């Protein structure tokens, strides 16, 4: 099972929509895909058609066996586990990550964790084959945070694969173009593509769905196809 951890380098970058859209694109390849919501905002289920009134999830249960009852399947066949409305501790989040190893899936399955931005990724029980994606936007704050993160990574004994991916890229912005070009030429972990800012993402979320289903020929869907293909290549290395 390939594990992917996705988080924003700061809040509000759109990690939840990326997790949901990526999961549905990967599912098109007829592999098992599981999405786990580790963020107390518990928004992931909304992208998969979960009703607004469905507020319970794994954080509301004392054991993982009980949490299994909260797994849902969306219309594309993605299995997802909502966070729930109970505030979980870091230890409980780590326990949930570890307990997901018990899930009975083939080696070709993908499990994608929607991680809260405020928890440092190095606090998670990461393993050698795990892939960590930190989402950034092309702005001055992220520019500063990226270089701080690189300093942190140098001081951490890490065997997992860590990458930065630009989300909500505005091609019409000169500043964003310049920042992305700078990052591409100077940063060792920057993905060679970006996910464009697209109104389709907002429209899909409003319909409790993903871009693949609402606008299959959109720029956003093409971007998630690119992200999925790139991750498949990284997982194979």
| Longest CA span, the chain | 51
- Please indicate whether residue 132 or residue 159 has the higher confidence score (pLDDT): 132
pLDDT of 78 reads 94
pTM, entire model: 0.95
The pLDDT of 176-181, averaged and rounded, is 96
pLDDT of 229 reads 96
In the chain, domain spans: 2-236
Superfamily of domain 2-236 in the CATH hierarchy: P-loop containing nucleotide triphosphate hydrolases (3.40.50.300)
pLDDT of 237 reads 81
pLDDT of 3 reads 96
pLDDT of 104 reads 80
The pLDDT of 124-138, averaged and rounded, is 95
Q: How many CB atoms lie within 10 A of CB 155?
A: 8
Q: Give 187's pLDDT tier (boundaries 50, 70, 90).
A: confident
The pLDDT of 160-165, averaged and rounded, is 93
Distance between CA atoms of residues 153 and 21, nearest Å: 28
Distance between CA atoms of residues 86 and 9, nearest Å: 24
On the question of pLDDT at 140 being above 90, the answer is yes
Residue 66, CA distances (Å) to 36, 62, 142 in order:
15, 7, 39
The pLDDT of 166-172, averaged and rounded, is 95
Structure tokens, 167: 């989300």
What confidence tens digit (pLDDT) does each residue in 60-86 have? 999 999 999 999 999 999 999 999 999
pLDDT of 153 reads 81
The pLDDT of 104-123, averaged and rounded, is 90
């Amino acid at each position: 099972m390939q594990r992917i951890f996705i988080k924003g380098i700061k809040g509000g970058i759109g990690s939840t929509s990326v997790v949901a859209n990526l999961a549905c694109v990967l599912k098109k390849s007829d592999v098992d895909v599981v999405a786990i919501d580790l963020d107390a905002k518990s928004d992931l289920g909304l992208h998969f058609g979960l009703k607004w009134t469905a507020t319970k999830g794994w954080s509301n249960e004392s054991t993982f066996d009980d949490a299994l009852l909260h797994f849902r399947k969306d219309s594309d066949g993605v299995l997802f586990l909502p966070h729930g409305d109970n505030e979980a501790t870091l230890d409980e989040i780590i326990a949930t990550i570890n307990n997901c190893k018990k899930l009975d899936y083939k080696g070709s399955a993908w499990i994608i964790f929607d991680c809260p931005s405020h928890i440092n990724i190095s606090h998670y029980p990461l393993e050698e084959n795990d892939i960590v994606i930190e989402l950034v936007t092309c702005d001055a704050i992220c520019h500063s945070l990226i270089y701080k993160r690189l300093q942190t990574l140098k001081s951490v004994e890490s065997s997992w694969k860590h990458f930065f991916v630009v989300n909500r890229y505005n091609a019409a912005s000169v500043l964003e173009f310049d920042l992305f070009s700078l990052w591409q030429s100077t940063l060792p972990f920057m993905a060679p593509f970006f996910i464009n800012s697209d109104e389709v993402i907002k429209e899909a979320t409003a319909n409790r769905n993903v871009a693949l289903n609402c606008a299959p020929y959109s720029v956003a869907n093409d971007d998630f196809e690119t992200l999925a293909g790139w991750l498949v290549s990284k997982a194979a290395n």
